[in-house]
C-alpha cells in the first residue's frame, strides 16, 4: 500500500501533467482555427483545376491495373495527435501488399517522420525518399510543387496521394487520390474541344504537373488540419482523464492521511491512559 508521501508525489505529478495537456489543447485549438481557414481558402483553388483534369486523368473502376505506382504518403512529424499517423501507415501497408499481389511495381515518397518510422522496419525497400519537418513552417505551394516534381521524377503509370481528409473536428478519414500517368493526355481526342496557343503536348504536360502540385497542396493542408484537430481532441481526453485520476488520488490521499492522524491520536490517548 502506498504511503501518504508517495500518494502526494503522484498527485503532484498528475496535476503537472494535467496543466501541460490543457496548455497543449489550447495551442492546438489556436493552430486548428488558422489551419482550417487556410484549408477552406485553398479548396476552391485545387477543385477548379481538378474539375478540368480529373475526367481525363482520374482513375476509374473499370481501368486496368497500372504497371507501376508512385505513392506519396503524408503524415506528421509530431505525435500526441491520436491515430491519424497510424491510420496512414496501415493504409500504406495494405496498398503495398495489394500492389505486390498484383505484381505492380511501387515506389514510396513519405512526408513526415511518423509514417517513415512506422514503415522503416518492414517496408523500407519501397522507399524512394522521405521528407521531415514539412510542417515546421507554413505549408506553401512551393513545397507542394517540389513534392510534385519529386513524384514525376520517377516515371510511373499511376500516381497516388495518401492523406487524412478533414471532415470535422472529430472525423477525418484516410483518403487515396489517384491519377493516371501524364502519357494519357497524349491520346487522341483529349482536350480537342480547346484551342491551345503553342505546342499542345508541352501545355498539357505543364498542366498535368500543375494539377498534381495543386492536389498535393490541398492534401498537405487537409492533413495538417486533421493533425491539429486530432491533437486537440487527444489533449482534451488526456485532460479529462487526468482530472478523474486527480480526484481518485485526492480521495485516497485524504483517506490515508485521515487514517494516519486517527492512528496517531489513538496512540496518544492510549499512552496517556497507561501513564495514569
Return averaged pLDDT per consecutive 10 residues of the chain, 276 residues in all. 84 93 94 94 87 86 86 92 92 93 93 93 93 87 94 92 93 92 79 82 89 94 94 94 93 88 82 74
For the chain, which residues make up each domain, given as ranges? 4-19+236-275, 28-234
Q: How far is CA 140 from the centre of its chain?
A: 17
| Cross-strand partners of 173 | 165
Radius of gyration of the chain (CA): 28
Residue 116 near residue 130 (C-beta atoms within 8 A): yes
Map grid coordinates 501518504 to a residue: 4
Residue 74 near residue 162 (C-beta atoms within 8 A): yes
Provide φ and ψ at 101, rounded to 5°.
-65, -35
Which ranges in 58-160 belong to alpha helices (H)? 84-102, 113-123, 141-152
Do 4-19+236-275 and 28-234 fold alike per CATH?
no
Could you give the CA distance from residue 212 to residue 108 in angstroms, rounded to a whole number?
A: 16
Residue 27 near residue 236 (C-beta atoms within 8 A): no
Q: For position 217, what pLDDT does the model report?
A: 95
> What class is the 4-19+236-275 domain?
mainly alpha
Classify domain 28-234 by CATH number.
3.40.1380.10
Could you give the CA distance from residue 94 to residue 133 in angstroms, rounded to a whole number?
A: 25
Q: For position 229, what pLDDT does the model report?
A: 94
The count of other CB atoms within 10 Å of the CB of residue 146 is 15
Could you give the CA distance from residue 6 to residue 83 in angstroms, rounded to a whole number?
A: 33
Amino acid at each position: 500500500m502506498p504511503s501518504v508521501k508517495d500518494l502526494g508525489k503522484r498527485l503532484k505529478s498528475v496535476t503537472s501533467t494535467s496543466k501541460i495537456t490543457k496548455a497543449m489543447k489550447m495551442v492546438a485549438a489556436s493552430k486548428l482555427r488558422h489551419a482550417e481557414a487556410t484549408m477552406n481558402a485553398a479548396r476552391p483553388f485545387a477543385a477548379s483545376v481538378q474539375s478540368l483534369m480529373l475526367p481525363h486523368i482520374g482513375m476509374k473502376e473499370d481501368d486496368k491495373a497500372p504497371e507501376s505506382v508512385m505513392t506519396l504518403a503524408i503524415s506528421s512529424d509530431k505525435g500526441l495527435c491520436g491515430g491519424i499517423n497510424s491510420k496512414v501507415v496501415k493504409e500504406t501497408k495494405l496498398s503495398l501488399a495489394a500492389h505486390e499481389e498484383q505484381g505492380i511495381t511501387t515506389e514510396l515518397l513519405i512526408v513526415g517522420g511518423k509514417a517513415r518510422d512506422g514503415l522503416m522496419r518492414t517496408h523500407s525497400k519501397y522507399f524512394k525518399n522521405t521528407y521531415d519537418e514539412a510542417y515546421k513552417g507554413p505549408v506553401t505551394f512551393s513545397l507542394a510543387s517540389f513534392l510534385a516534381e519529386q513524384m514525376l521524377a520517377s516515371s510511373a503509370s499511376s500516381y497516388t496521394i495518401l492523406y487524412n481528409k478533414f471532415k470535422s473536428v472529430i472525423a477525418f478519414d484516410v483518403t487515396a487520390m489517384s491519377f493516371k500517368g501524364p502519357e494519357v493526355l497524349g491520346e487522341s481526342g483529349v482536350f480537342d474541344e480547346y484551342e491551345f496557343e503553342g505546342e499542345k503536348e508541352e501545355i498539357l504536360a505543364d498542366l498535368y504537373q500543375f494539377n498534381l502540385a495543386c492536389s498535393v497542396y490541398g492534401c498537405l493542408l487537409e492533413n495538417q488540419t486533421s493533425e491539429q484537430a486530432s491533437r486537440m481532441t487527444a489533449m482534451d481526453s488526456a485532460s479529462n482523464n487526468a482530472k478523474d485520476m486527480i480526484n481518485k488520488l485526492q480521495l485516497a490521499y485524504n483517506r490515508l492521511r485521515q487514517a494516519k492522524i486517527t492512528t496517531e491520536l489513538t496512540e496518544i490517548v492510549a499512552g496517556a491512559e497507561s501513564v495514569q
